[in-house]
Amino acid sequence: MGRQRARNKIQTETKASRATRALGYLRVSTEEQAASGHGLDTQEKSVRAFAESQGYELIAVLTDPGVSGATRPADRPSFGQALEMAAAGAFDVLLVAKIDRLSRDIRHAMTTVSDLAEQHEVAFRSVTESVIDTSNPMGRTFFAIFAGMAENERFVIRDRTAGGRVAKASKGGFAGGQAPYGYTRDLEGGLRIVPEQARIVRRIYQERRRKRTLQAIADSLNADGIPAPRGGRWAVSTISYVTDNPKYRGAIEYLFRWSGAETHVLAEGIHQAIVS
């Protein structure tokens, strides 16, 4: 017991004698990359200024660009690296510009911060919400409150995005997803015809009108060496997708699902039809 106490004393004195080592973590989702206030440059400036004001030794700044806040932190490339550094005892505090940079899912946020503290003795601090400092009980309480707020904001963003897609589709606009074969996205987020692919789409419709089977059409395209939409060979399911897709006839159709509800939209599209 005496030896254990002596080792604990040495560890405590060693930790107290060195500057607190901090690791900065930045994240921005694809949607936020063009939005003000969430850019990576802004986050990094805030983290570096805060570290300097607290007398921290900022050992590194890790970045996860284009990653949703709903993604589990451990599943992100750079945050995975941060966990490895924490396991190696490389830093004492994890710094973020705002708590939602860590996660917008309260379960992920709570689990991640708890694991950092219990397994690696790493505290978590937010630059913007300065009351969040998990090295003390009050800071941990504020962390739980703000984590819940971040998760609620994620649901608000999701509902707002879904509502925007429904409104765009109702007006005949392309409301997201992969552009169908024969089209590509234009600069305004709509659909523009790809002439070479459009000729294949018209050929499929013409052969279908002649009562040819889906398998016969696929075999014909494969025999002529025409690659399927994703490369490779045409299949019955791919031909069926083309013949059943109303976008080729100038219509827009979506079935939106969120918050337990479904919204069906079928409207005349503002894009140019490939077949009549």
DSSP string, the chain: -HHHHHHHHHHHHHHHHSPPEEEEEEEE-TTTTTSTT--HHHHHHHHHHHHHHHT-EEEEEEEEET--TTS-GGGSHHHHHHHHHHHTT--SEEEESSHHHH-SSHHHHHHHHHHHHHHH--EEEESSSTT-BTTSHHHHHHHHHHHHHHHHHHHHHHHHHHHHHHHHHHTT---SSPPPTTEEE-TTSSEEE-HHHHHHHHHHHHHHHTT--HHHHHHHHHHTTPPPTTSS---HHHHHHHHH-GGGGTEEEEEEEETTEEEEEEEE-SSPPS--
Averaged pLDDT, 67-88: 93
In this model, does residue 159 exceed pLDDT 90? no
Query: Is the pLDDT higher at 106 or at 37?
Result: 106
What is the reported pLDDT for 13? Answer: 46
- pLDDT tier, 8 (very low <50, low <70, confident <90, very high otherwise): low
Domains, the chain, with CATH or none? 2-157 (3.40.50.1390), 172-268 (3.90.1750.20)
Predicted local distance difference test score (pLDDT) of residue 60: 97
Mean pLDDT of 144-170: 66
- pLDDT, one tens digit per residue, over 91-139 is 999 999 988 898 887 778 888 888 898 899 999 998 888 777 877 777 6
The whole-number pLDDT of residue 134 equals 75
